[in-house]
Amino acid sequence: MWSLIGVFAVALIIIFITHWVYRWRNPMPNVKLPPGSMGLPFIGETLQLFASQSSFDIHPFIKKKMNRYGPIFKTNLVCRPIVITTDPEFSHFVFLQEGNSTETYLPFLESSRNAFEKNNMNIHKYLRNMVLGYFGTEKQKERLLSEMQEMVGRNIAIWSKQPSVELKEVSANMAFGYATKKLLSYDSTKYSENLKDAFIGFLRGLMAFPLNIPGTAYHKCQKDKKKVMAVLKDMVTERLNASNANQHGDFLDVIIEEMKRDEPVFDIDGATYVVFAILLASFETISLALTLAIKFISEDQAVLKELTDEHEKILKNRENIDSAITWNEYKSMTFTSNIIGETLRLGNISQLIFRRATKDIEVNGYTIPSGWGIVVYPPAIHLNPDKYEDPLLFNPWRWKGQGSSTASKNFMPFGGGCRLCAGAGYTKLQMTIVLHLLVTKYRYKLKNKWTKIKGGEVIQRVGVVFPNGLHIKVTENS
């Protein structure tokens, strides 16, 4: 009797598990989903995506899926159904549909998303106009160009007095210091938490497997994020309640002015996350892109020569060789612009760009259901041999006559559509000034060649990492 009950119970368990696994692998049997697989229960195919590689090629997991299923396929990342697109046309469509059939999606930071929205209203377009008003082209001409030159010159002078510097670290310090000054007049002596260290900790854990339990890198990432948010929230609150608000001349003044309107777009929590997001983008992208650019330049003497020739020609055409860069000179640095564009194309700083479908989306005869995540994967687009000949070769000359600073269906380092990063010009300006000073007033040489001292190896997972750094020696020209 009991043995029959036991057999029946086991049979029920097997049926339940079989049905559950079937539903996992076929999440919407009545909808024709894009091809692909959902991986293991719970974790999906997250482990495969987080595997590392030491080249700039398309990630093996993505490449395998592309070869098997085509440019658009489904998968599952930590219990979240996802469609990954490597197709330029559909990726461009996803960006253009922002606010219509797609929305920004931060799968591992979903709790922060509501800070960008109030009463279900997406404020990104409004915020983008605020950022461009303070950091855009006109402000770059008026003050940012001269301010950045002074700031970059001061920092590189400090680098030159050291036996060697780790470029990613010192460029992050430089970019972070300037960004915190322009954003919120940050004074580290007033706070117990080190804002930059907490930011760095947050970024390191963000590229770890998203397992949020004590002892994991991702758990520390979340703790560091809370520290950063606490400091920023205190600053926003203090400025909002201060009697001398709007007297600092920074971007936080602009935010506070908005918060004091009769119908403000965001509250304290929303303003805090706005500052967090802008600060994160304004220093990490610059330091990583700059480190990658100098790595690529140091490995190609022809690139270094043409870069140097371009900037020395500018010096020769000046009445005073020591005068500051003018806006016309900056716009004339076309090969420098090509180097930056090629660095962004090959380096692929933004490996995954997340969106979520807010309506059912039809593509190539398949349906992406409302609520599913959509991941645009720029490396597959930037390394497409049909568009870029010999795509794994660092070749700034490929941009000659094309203009590498604009977003297109085949070039999307800063996203696209209405979500195109408002700080793209700011990033390019700061990188250009650093390269100008390095090739005209400084050098880092070994046996009369521009080369690194040590390091420079790259690992790619869901981001680019220099495990041994990139150490260089900067020497002032005599």
pTM for the whole structure: 0.88
Instruction: Over range 160-182, report the average pLDDT.
Output: 91
DSSP H helical segments within 117-267, as ranges?
Answer: 124-135, 137-139, 145-160, 167-184, 195-206, 217-241, 251-259
Average pLDDT, rounded, for the chain: 83
Q: How many residues belong to the chain?
A: 478
Residue 207: inside a domain:
no
Asked whether residue 40 is domain-assigned, the answer is yes
Which of 295, 311, 330, 302 minimizes the C-alpha distance to 397? 302
Is residue 228 assigned to a domain?
no
Give residues with Cβ within 8 angstroms of 325, minimum separation 6: 145, 149, 314, 433, 436
Tokens of 221: 């990432």
133 vs 140: CA distance, rounded Å: 10
User: What are the C-alpha distances in Å from 189 to residues 175, 244, 309?
Assistant: 19, 20, 43
Residues of the chain with pLDDT > 70, as a percent, come to: 84
CA distance 205 to 465: 12
Task: Flag whether 173 is in a domain.
Answer: no
C-alpha–C-alpha distance, residues 342 and 391, integer Å? 10
Contact 366, 32 (CB under 8 A): yes
For residue 121, pLDDT beyond 50: no
The enclosing domain of 460 has a CATH number of 1.10.630.10
Q: Which domain covers residue 408, as residue numbers?
A: 2-117+135-165+283-476
pLDDT given for residue 61 in this prediction: 93
Q: How far apart are CA 273 and CA 230, in angstroms?
A: 10
Domain presence at residue 202: no
Domain-located, residue 172: no
All residues at 6 or more sequence positions from 4 whose CB lies less than 8 Å from its CB, including other chains: none
Burial environment of residue 401 by CB neighbours within 10 A (0 to 12, 13 to 18, 19 or more): exposed
Inform me whether the pLDDT recorded for 449 exceeds 60.
Answer: no
pLDDT of residue 185: 87
In angstroms, how far is the first alpha carbon of the chain from the final one? 97
pLDDT digits (tens, 9 = 90+) for 419-434: 677 778 889 999 999 9
**Average of per-residue pLDDT across 239-249:** 76
Summarize pLDDT for 274-323 with one digit per residue, the tens. 888 888 877 788 999 999 999 999 889 899 999 999 999 999 998 888 88
* pLDDT category of residue 156 using cuts at 50, 70 and 90: very high
83-92, 146-155, 229-238 — which is least confidently predicted? 229-238
Kindly state whether residue 235 falls inside one of the protein's structural domains. Answer: no
pLDDT for position 124: 67
Answer for the pair 195, 186: CB distance below 8 angstroms, yes or no.
yes
Bigger pLDDT: 116 vs 345: 345
pLDDT at 150: 94
Q: Where are the beta strands (DSSP E) in 329-382?
A: 353-357, 361-363, 366-368, 373-376
pLDDT number for residue 29: 56
Is there a contact between 236 and 255 (Cβ–Cβ < 8 Å)? yes
Determine, yes or no, domain membership for 199. Answer: no
When pLDDT is cut at 50, 70 and 90, the band that residue 54 belongs to is confident
Q: What is the mean pLDDT of residues 210-221?
A: 80
Residue with the bigger pLDDT between 435 and 248: it is 435
How many structural domains comprise the chain?
1
pLDDT reading at 411 higher than 60: yes
Confidence of residue 406 (pLDDT cuts 50, 70, 90): low
The pLDDT score that the predictor gives to residue 448 is 36
- What's the CA gap between 201 and 198, in Å, rounded? 5
Quick one: pLDDT at residue 437? 93
Please enumerate, as own/partner, the contacts of 151-155 that have beta carbons within 8 Å and a separation of 24 or more: 151/177, 151/178, 152/430, 152/433, 152/434, 152/437, 153/437, 153/441
Residue 221 annotated in ligand binding: no
DSSP label of 325: P
Comparing 166 with 462, the larger pLDDT belongs to 166
